[in-house]
Chain A
Amino acid sequence: MTAATETPAAVTAVPRASGAAVIALARFETRRLLLRAPVLAAFAVYIGWTVWRTRTSWDGFPALQDADRATQGGPLLVGLAVLFCANHAVLRSRRHDTDRHLDVLVVQPWRRTVAHLLSVAAAALLTGVCVAGQFTWEALKPGAVGHGSPGELLAGPLSVLVLGTIGVLLARLLTSPFAAPLLIVLLFFLHTVATAPDNGHTVRWLVLTVGENTATTLPSDLLGRPAAWHALYLTGLALTAALLAVLVSGGARLRTVRAGVVGAVALTLVGAVAQGQGVSRETTEARVRASAAPEKEQKCAERDGTTYCVFPEWTVRTDDWAEAVAGVRSLAGGAARDRPLLVRQRIEARYGLDGDAAIAPATRPGQVTVGTAWGGNRVPEFTAAVAGVLVAGTEAKAGAMCDGRMVTVMWMALAGRPDPVADLRRVRLDDSDRGSAIVLSQTEPLRMTAAQTELVRELLRRPEREVAAKVKAEWAGLTAPKVTSDQVAALLGLDEPEEKDECL
């Protein structure tokens, strides 16, 4: 045993240091909370899963108004772990019977509760950093368009805060260790009930995060989601739980705490009511305008003989579209090569994000419809639509087309792509490259017969230059209405197709 020759001057506590003591205790509790196995595991799963998904999300062309919503799911896992561990931490002195000892120390129990709440806030802050990282990654992708919403981005960290404060409150109310697991099951259940599709708007938004089961992207002003009010509601909920926990652990004597509880409850109610109002009239009208008469909202730009009329957030993508159009045009022959095209972006926003209605094909000559998504399968679908319009004249006629012209259309759509046969599979509904199938597009799908598929495959095997020269030379014959597949084969110097040539 070391004998100190001179006891160093003892440390005396400075009066009015209670705030600093709470901060010191909060640092202590934060370190313990963030190093607990469930929290670490939750963060690991959350970060790992997010990184894995964000690598290939939206094929590299995210719309930021979708990316901000995508940050909301992962933090719920972290929130549950924080609930469990914060509950455990507050019950620690009860479990090990140290209350007798700790209650006579200077820092009162309600201040200890505040320290636990601050540790939960630190976990929420860490979640916020992860959310910011995920969103920044999406925003920095070269194909990103649109605007994110701060309210949506805050929902994830605020959910962690709400769940953590509820865990602390529960520990102060019920000292049994089985309360927290049962509460988690109850919360799961309430979430399922509230998000059942038949429920009204008000109930639906009472849960922590409201997802949209959709792959549609809309302009950010048409979304109709009360993100900011929801963030306010979540803040109110977290503050209510936190202040109630302080109240219950002995802070009831302080007037500020009592007033704070009342204020927090009021905040929560304001948020809950405001977020439950449903889609506002202005948004509904804007949605109708954008769907029925988009030309009033859109900006037009011209590139190489093609006009692109798009919603304001998508103007940065014009170059990508122009590249695709140019690729198809270069393979066309005859007058089609220089025909002026109008690429108009169209959406169906009248049913909000849930709507999945198809867009009617354009009947104006030379108009191609493009959607809000890009990358991956959307690119060959677009080039197929462009090729269809170049050959058939209008989108409506291209959809109705079922003759040998499809061979030319599909070859033009795919030949310029880096991996044409793979794109052929992706653009068809059943992911096949043999037999007849439907070709997906933004509006009406196109149809290919088995014979046409065989011819297209054969063409894609030949060198592109050779086929391009033939196509340009025989353009008139290839694009004559009602030309059969056999005739097309003959014009292009291919064997007659063996497969059937019946339209679906």
Chain B
Amino acid sequence: MPWRAVGAAGVLGLLLAAAPRLTGDQADGWYALTVLRASALAFALGAAFALDDPARHTTAAVPTRRAVRHGLRVLLVVPVAAVWWTAALLLVPAPVRPPVAGITVEAATALALALAGAALAVHRGDGARPGRAVAGGLLAGAVLGPLFAPGHWALFVPPDDERWAAAHDRWAVLLCAAVAVAVVCATEPRRRLGRRGLRSPSGTSGPSRA
């Protein structure tokens, strides 16, 4: 369980959350919101490495099902995430703190997307350490999302905007979708889908030919 990644990400997230306190009382609601979003993203990036297992191929044949093994890791990450998020929220001064329910949904969605991405990468590609690719994808989503998301979805509005509640309903939908993907991908693939045969002979000694 790559605790170093999660730990480093958590420390960075807490540093970011503490920033409004450190810069004095120049902070306003938008600043605090951006800071919390950055914190949530940082933790999610660390969580993207949670399913990294260098020994995945060696332990491929154990009786414990993959769902159980992944579930165990998620079960370890989620309480840590909850404690960490509470700390981050408390670090932001109360007057400028955005609505807790909404921002928590956003943070939970980021975490779920990271874990779902990692589960999907393992399910489809059977890589041992998909963390970096998932982190890259999550970053790309975080950068391009605000640029390209349709305006009427209003996913990234400030808290005093009237669309906050509606926007966070959409975030909740995204959260459920991510959780669903994570659950589905937690199982081992029963069959090779389609005509996709063995993609690489890395696990074989190969035909003996010139």
Residue B19 contacts which of A38, A80, A189 (CB distance < 8 angstroms)? Answer: A189
A1-B210 in contact given A182-B42, A186-B12 (Cβ < 8 Å): yes
Residue B143 contacts which of A77, A88, A182 (CB distance < 8 angstroms)? Answer: A77
Chain A: interface residue count, which band? 20 to 34
Q: Are A177 and B38 in contact (CB under 8 A)?
A: no
Interface residues of B (CB under 8 A from A): 4-5, 8-9, 12, 16, 19, 23, 26, 31, 34-35, 38, 41-42, 45-46, 48-49, 129, 131-132, 135-136, 138-140, 143-144, 210
Q: Are B41 and A176 in contact (CB under 8 A)?
A: no
CA gap between A188 and B16 in the complex, in Å:
11
The 10 A-B pairs of least Cβ separation, nearest first, read A181-B135, A1-B210, A178-B5, A177-B132, A181-B45, A185-B42, A189-B38, A198-B26, A182-B12, A189-B16
Chain A residues near B41: list those with CB within 8 A: 185
Q: Tell whether A196 is near chain B: CB-to-CB under 8 Å.
A: yes
Complex interface bits, A54-98 against B, C-beta within 8 A gives 1, otherwise 0: 000000000000000000000001001000100010000000000
Can you give 24 contacting A-B residue pairs, CB < 8 Å?
A: A41-B140, A45-B144, A77-B143, A84-B136, A176-B4, A176-B8, A177-B49, A177-B129, A178-B4, A178-B131, A181-B45, A181-B138, A181-B139, A182-B12, A182-B45, A185-B41, A185-B45, A186-B16, A186-B42, A188-B38, A189-B16, A189-B35, A193-B19, A196-B23
Chain A residues near B8: list those with CB within 8 A: 176, 178-179, 182
CA gap between A179 and B132 in the complex, in Å:
10
Q: Are A38 and B140 in contact (CB under 8 A)?
A: yes
Interface residues of A (CB under 8 A from B): 1, 38, 41, 45, 77, 80, 84, 88, 176-179, 181-182, 184-186, 188-189, 192-193, 196, 198
User: Of all chain A residues, which has the CB nearest B23?
Assistant: A193
Chain B residues near A189: list those with CB within 8 A: 16, 19, 35, 38
Chain B residues near A192: list those with CB within 8 A: 31, 34, 38
| Beyond A178-B4, A186-B42, A188-B38, 20 extra complex contacts between A and B, CB < 8 Å | A1-B210, A45-B144, A77-B143, A80-B143, A177-B131, A177-B135, A179-B8, A182-B12, A182-B42, A182-B45, A184-B139, A185-B41, A185-B42, A189-B16, A189-B35, A192-B31, A192-B34, A196-B23, A196-B31, A198-B26
